[in-house]
A and B are shown apart, each in its own frame.
Chain A
Amino acid sequence: MKNVRVEDIGKPSDQLTHVDPAECVPLPAPYNLPDAAPKWPPLSDKAKAAYESSLDDTIAVSIPKPKTKEEEDELVAKFLSGLQKLFTKENNWTFLQPLVLSMEHCAKCQTCSEACHIFEMSGHNPVYRPTYRSDALRRLYFKHVKPGGSLLSKWRHGDIDLNWTTVARLAELSYRCNLCRRCAQTCPVGVDNGLIAHELRKLFSQEMGISAKELHDRGAVLQLKVGSSTGMNPEVVKDNIEFIDEDTSEKTGMTVKTPWDKKGAELLLIHNAGEIMAWPENHGAFAAILNAAGVDWTMSSEAQDALGYDNINYGLWYDDFMLAKVAIKHAKAAKNLGVKKIVLGECGHAHKALTVIADRVLTGDLNIPRESALPILEEIVFSGKIKFDPSRNDFPVTLHDPCNYVRLMGIVEPQRRVIRHLAPRFREMEPHGVYNYCCGGGSGFAIMSGHNFMDWRAQVSGRKKLQQILIAFEGQLDPSIPKYVCAPCSNCKGQIRDLFQYWNVWEKSKILYGGLVELIVNAMADVKPGFIEWEWR
């Protein structure tokens, strides 16, 4: 593989690096065969002509190519102005301190590199090294932001050119990191390359208006305008839930009814609305469990002054203000109903955004307690209120740990205690818990598939997770044995679905994916057997 130096980022060329699937880490058999995955199509000439694509073999952000040198210079000047703002407390009080710490104290020992699944599985592509983008930004920071940078910066920190090539490649490169922060866990100094990628994304969004369309235009903006990034307005979401309730009642033999806008309820449940559309059984299972346990709960149909039925918050990945706008409206939904707490359904980034990150945004009467559904589910399962028959889950099960629950929030055991109790053939992936690997869809990738980005996330960013899953089911990959990957997170499920589809995992190995609540309902003794349907969707 061609070596690429940090300073090469500013040297114009058609492509800074190339990812050859043959150089990626091989997967276990039969996924190691040459025809195991589809051919990765090159970017079309049309895409190359229209958008910046000189980083690698794909495009995540679709930045239109500047037409003139003046336009390029203007964009570079904007980048520089954004870079300076990133280091002011007025514009970036939210992350200034950790950012400065990570910028100024890296020992460049590369300890973090092997922790990164993207770097590892790409066959150690030098551009995907966690320090590559960090060091490029670090050199720009010392050269252009710190006083006296032009004199000693090259000698102290290495050379770099600030030009449009550098800026365009950095924009794309900020979307070659899952922000899983596994690298930060290993750093002896405490430097956080995930944070640096996050701050780079913020610079591009907050100063230059550049971000992935799936996250901003079709994500956060749509959610703020309509109520959900799925485009569902309150009427549509209520209709869908009514249908899910009917379907779940029929499947389980229980009467399942979702309460809406119930004032003063104990808890407001907010799902990732993608569940309602893509995995309706997830909401159905939640409703069945909460009703069977006699929980006083409600959903909210607010979509304007407040956001009540879609817990996503894509701002977490690229823009502090979008994060704050959405978090404030989530809290307002709870405040308007006078509920005692917000409970987040199976969505990792929504957990992290509203429970942890927004903790220092929400003040006064908006600081309403927020809680994960996982400990509540654990409490219900062990409360004795519902009878279980674990033999209904007598198939191999493994658990994918969404990074946001474990490494970034410390919710590790509740979901495990439930699975150990209800799934007799449970086995862990290695490593797991706080040392897990990202599914490869983190930081928004799971909903990004423009151009050939899907190939990149199936061949590179998702490769480690697929390897882990296949190893967890080693010796049982035969399609005659049904197997279940429990992934209690919408984005992770989306990524695993795409990954399995890409590698034809259902056909070859009959591995199904789903949430935790489905596994719980599947083991409920008082419902009709077979809640989990062994069909590929």
Chain B
Amino acid sequence: MSSMFPHLLTYAAVLAFAGVAGYRFFRIYSMPMHLRWELYPVAHEPGKKASYGGSMLEEVGWWKKPRETSWINMLKVMVPEMTLLVALFEHNRKMWYRSFPFHFGLYILAGMIGLILLGGVMELFGVYVGPGASPGSAVYYLTQAAALFGLGLATVGAAGLLHARLFDPELKGYTSPAMIFNLLFFLAAFAAAWLTFIFVDTGFAATRSFVQSLITFELNAVLGGGHLSWAGRLAMTVEIVLAMALLAYIPMTHMAHFFVKWFTWDKVRWDDEPNVPGGEIEQKIGTYVQYPVTWAAPHLAADGKKNWLDIATEGVKGEQGK
């Protein structure tokens, strides 16, 4: 079986993932700065303010004082939120029991890929990665542990989410066919990964070999580097196809929230940056208010020639609907 296809597919999937995620990130990033719309508690507030939800606006003459923010306070909220899904834990425990193992399992699987990469590179440099008590053995055992726990948690979580989507009356009306497809897609990829892990490549030697050929661009290298039978290569090809298709697909969906959360939390919910006279914010506003406006309501009298500032500063036209 030619190994060109899984190699090319992997490159394409990684590029698609980076390209689509990058495009979506840039699209959001390049949108105009919005009006302030913060929501307290704002995590980067200093001292106790972060815990009870206070802000600089609690102080007389707040604009005369240096603006204080606390990275530590922000990390105290952000790290548990990213790793443990604290908001879901606090407000929707039923969903957390499903969503947390799914997400945490995915994090462990991402760590597992890192370990496979590390092991592959170590082998390229002649370091033995396998059972025993050598320096590479730690990587070997950690990879297996990560696979076991990561796949276990993610599979249980995905199955739990699928069950909720299919049977929870609260979710049913808000579950589209695509959401069911997404979870089935994950479960199919996990099933293929389990089969390969249990029956084909328990020690990840074949996978490390595949990673090595990816790194060295040896596209014709035998899949699994001679560690696998014909059936093993077939199983591994199926796993690669599913995993890579999933990788490319994720950023095309609402599941892009893995990076979007940075915007929704840090750039909206916690964006309390005041507009200082002569500062960068003021300059941006100066650009935005020059945009031509085409809203059609009579009281705005926008004609596509007037800009935002013209309309905001002119007198109001008559009552609505008249």
Contacts and interface: CB of A to CB of B under 8 A. Distances in A.
B275 A410 contact: no
A374 B49 CA distance: 16
Contact of A361 (B95, B179, B312): B312
Interface in A147-198: 152, 155-158, 181, 184-192, 195
Interface string A205-218: 11111110100110
A209 B57 contact: no
A433 interface: yes
B58 A207 contact: no
Contacts of B254: 104-107
Contacts of A97: 28, 31-34, 263, 267-268
Contacts of A5: 173
B288 to A, nearest CB: 4
A181 B40 CA distance: 10
B282 interface: yes
Interface residues of B, number: 87
Interface stretch (A108-116, A493-501, A514-522): A108-116
Given A89-B31, A97-B32, A408 B40 contact: yes
Given A6-B174, A224-B316, A409-B40, A360 B54 contact: no
A362 to B, nearest CB: 7
Contacts of A363: 275, 277, 282, 285-286
Interface stretch (B10-18, B198-206, B229-237, B290-298): B290-298
Contact of B39 (A6, A208, A379, A408): A408
A109 B277 CA distance: 42
Contact of B295 (A6, A98, A135, A207): A207
Interface in A100-133: 100-102, 104-111, 113-115, 126, 131
A375 interface: yes
Contacts of B39: 181, 184-185, 192, 407-408
A91 B174 contact: no
Contact of B28 (A91, A100, A321, A433): A100
Interface string A9-42: 0000000000000000000000000000000000
A78 B90 CA distance: 42
B123 interface: no
Contacts of B73: none
Interface in B242-297: 253-254, 256-257, 260-261, 263-265, 267-269, 272, 274-275, 277, 281-282, 285-286, 288, 291-297
A407 B40 CA distance: 5
Interface string A354-370: 01110111111001010
B282 A108 contact: no
Contacts of B320: 205, 209-211, 213, 216-217
Contacts of B264: 98, 101-102, 105, 189-192
Contacts of A208: 296-297
A406 interface: yes
A96 interface: yes
A328 interface: yes
B87 A410 contact: no
B203 to A, nearest CB: 36
A411 B58 contact: yes
A425 interface: no
Nearest to A417: B58
A6 B256 CA distance: 24
B321 interface: yes
A330 B276 CA distance: 18
A434 B286 contact: no
B176 interface: yes
B182 to A, nearest CB: 10
B308 A93 contact: yes
Nearest to A410: B55
B300 interface: yes
B53 interface: yes
9 contacts: A78-B296, A89-B31, A90-B292, A91-B295, A188-B99, A208-B296, A360-B285, A410-B54, A411-B54
Interface of B: 28, 31-42, 45, 49, 52-63, 81, 85, 87-88, 90-92, 95, 99, 169-171, 173-179, 253-254, 256-257, 260-261, 263-265, 267-269, 272, 274-275, 277, 281-282, 285-286, 288, 291-300, 308, 311-313, 315-316, 318-321
Given A209-B320, A363-B275, 7 more contacts: A94-B34, A97-B34, A158-B176, A188-B85, A225-B316, A369-B63, A411-B54
